């Protein structure tokens, strides 16, 4: 006997919708969560468990400047946040809004505790039928274009409005937001000190909608070097430092398959040049396994968090504990507070079991040469040593037991940002100091801002057909006219790269 029509139609409709999601590359959370319902709702309208409310201000920022991606900017600002604080950019998943992500992700509560601002970009159905960020569209997710350019413009606006530290800017995102996060880290490694890809895709995995479904199912068969080339090709001429990347993946995710976590690991360890052999592996709450890949100084550069039994979504752990955060709901799945462990990886949060020493005061630049910068700071009671950070990356390989340090091996005529943290007897960093800027002596990178016609006349670019291309890098600068303006940086004689986001990059 054939199945009754009243039962066949819903099943057929579900199959058609699922196929449409994959064909369009619209990453949505259709997989069952850990002990969750079998069908996720379209938006986060109800919750089962909540965490303590944040105490700052969540608001829309009306005019943030050029907006080629047609996005909306929201911000969360803790009360009394001083200038020089870090900035976290948090990208929602499909069918969500910035308000949903502010409510469920736990980032505002962490911002209150550890003192940083949060920017929450929002896309909508006018850009994508399911309000997904366009991680699969090369016209929207590449440097200087579309949504990627709009997000970086939001960063620039936040730095102006809130005095955010430009050396401590981080980006994180869920699902399609995670895919765009990986793209942003590849496109703008000069802007972001670190990132976290939650249930997302490798950078530049797909360049068209038709290729997006293959990325979601994973298993592209690329080598780590081929994955790494996708990052290196996103900003030609850039040689580091690279962002530190956290990867979160549920083992029961049937929307963005777990192999994507492995491919992301392959991609970013190759970019860092550190191979795919773990430096350490340990267990965290919620059935989470953390695998760490250290750089040459022994500092974690890439971390892969695998959450056993978790479906498609962001791992949260509501509660009042120091390592808890978030609110459960559609695509916010009870397991572990991923936002806390991500913030800890970036150096924004102290370990729940220790640390917590105050930031050293009086950090100052005491001298510089063409290849070095010397620093000093005030002692912190209880500190057994200190860690020194350059542009968000720890630079000392051994214990700094005094209150001064000289960082060497730098580039001439280049600006750097430094911060210092006190280390307690458990080996845990306390709060980092505010960043101070320092510059080495010697010739600075040469930067030129002009319209495409003038850049061509000056010999920094060339015309092919009706378009303009930077000499050396060959980057597409757009139409050959006097209306399109770019900043070009000469990174080596005759080699120019687009540096619209800031020069030197």
Active centre residues (catalytic): 175
How far is the C-alpha of 131 from the C-alpha of 36, rounded, in Å? 23
DSSP string, 15-36: HHHHHHHHHHT-----SPPTT-
Q: Which regions of 308-435 does DSSP assign to beta strands (E)? A: 314-316, 332-334, 364-368, 372-376, 385-390, 393-394, 404-408, 415-423, 429-432
Write the DSSP string, 316-327: EB-SSSTT-B--
Sign of dihedral through CA atoms 445, 269, 281, 30?
Answer: positive
Virtual torsion, Cα 98, 104, 110, 115, nearest 10 deg: 20
Q: Which of 62, 58, 106 is nearest to 79 (CA)?
A: 58
Nearest Cα neighbor of 247 from 203, 192, 188 is 203
Bridge-based pairing of strands 87-91 and 169-174 is parallel
The position carrying tokens 């303006």 is 485
Distance, in Å, from the CA atom of 168 to the CA atom of 163, rounded to the nearest integer, reads 12
CA 81-420-198 angle, 5° bins = 65
In the chain the first and final C-alpha atoms are separated, in Å, by 68
374, HSE (Cβ side, Cα atoms, 13 Å) = 6
């Amino acid at each position: 006997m054939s199945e009754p029509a009243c039962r066949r139609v819903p099943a057929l409709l579900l199959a058609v919708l699922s196929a449409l999601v994959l064909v369009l590359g619209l990453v949505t959370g259709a997989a069952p969560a850990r002990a969750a319902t079998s069908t996720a709702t379209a938006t986060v309208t109800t919750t089962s468990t909540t965490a303590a409310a944040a105490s700052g201000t969540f608001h829309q920022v009306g005019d943030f400047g050029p907006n080629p991606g047609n996005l909306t900017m929201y911000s969360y600002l803790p009360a009394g946040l001083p200038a020089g604080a870090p900035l976290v950019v948090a990208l929602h998943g499909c069918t969500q809004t910035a308000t949903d992500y502010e409510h469920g992700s736990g980032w505002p509560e962490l911002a209150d505790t550890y003192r940083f601002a949060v920017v929450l970009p929002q896309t909508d159905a006018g850009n994508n039928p399911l309000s997904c960020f366009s991680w699969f569209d090369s016209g929207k997710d590449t440097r200087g274009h579309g949504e990627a350019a709009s997000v970086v413009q939001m960063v620039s606006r936040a730095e102006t409005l809130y005095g955010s530290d430009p050396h401590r800017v981080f980006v994180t995102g869920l699902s399609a937001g995670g895919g765009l996060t990986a793209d942003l880290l590849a496109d703008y490694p000069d802007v972001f000190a670190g990132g976290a890809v939650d249930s997302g895709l490798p950078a530049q995995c797909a360049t068209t909608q038709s290729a997006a479904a293959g990325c979601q199912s994973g298993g592209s068969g690329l080598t780590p070097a081929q994955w790494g080339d996708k990052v290196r090709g996103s900003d030609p001429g850039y040689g580091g430092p690279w962002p530190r990347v956290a990867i979160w993946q549920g083992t029961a995710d049937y929307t963005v398959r777990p192999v994507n976590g492995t491919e992301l690991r392959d991609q970013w360890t190759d970019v860092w040049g550190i191979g795919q052999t773990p430096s350490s592996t340990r267990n965290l709450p919620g059935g989470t396994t953390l695998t760490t890949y250290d750089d040459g100084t022994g500092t974690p550069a890439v971390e892969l968090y695998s959450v056993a039994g978790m479906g498609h979504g962001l791992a949260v752990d509501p509660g009042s504990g120091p390592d808890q955060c978030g609110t459960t709901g559609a695509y916010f799945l009870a397991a572990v507070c991923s936002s806390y462990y991500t913030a800890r990886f970036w150096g924004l949060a102290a370990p729940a079991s220790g640390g917590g020493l105050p930031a050293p005061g009086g950090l100052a630049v005491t001298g510089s040469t063409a290849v070095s910068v010397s620093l000093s700071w005030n002692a912190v009671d209880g500190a057994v040593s200190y860690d020194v950070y350059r542009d968000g990356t720890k630079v000392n390989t051994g214990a700094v037991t005094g209150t001064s340090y000289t960082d060497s091996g730098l580039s001439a005529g280049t600006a750097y940002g430094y911060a210092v943290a006190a280390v307690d007897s458990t080996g845990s960093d306390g709060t980092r100091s505010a960043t101070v800027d320092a510059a080495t002596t010697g010739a600075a990178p040469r930067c030129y801002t002009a319209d495409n016609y003038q850049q061509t006349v000056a010999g920094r670019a060339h015309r092919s057909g009706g378009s303009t291309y930077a000499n050396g890098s060959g980057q597409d600068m757009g139409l050959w006219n006097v209306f399109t303006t770019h900043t070009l940086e000469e990174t080596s004689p005759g080699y120019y790269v687009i540096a619209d986001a800031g020069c030197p990059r």
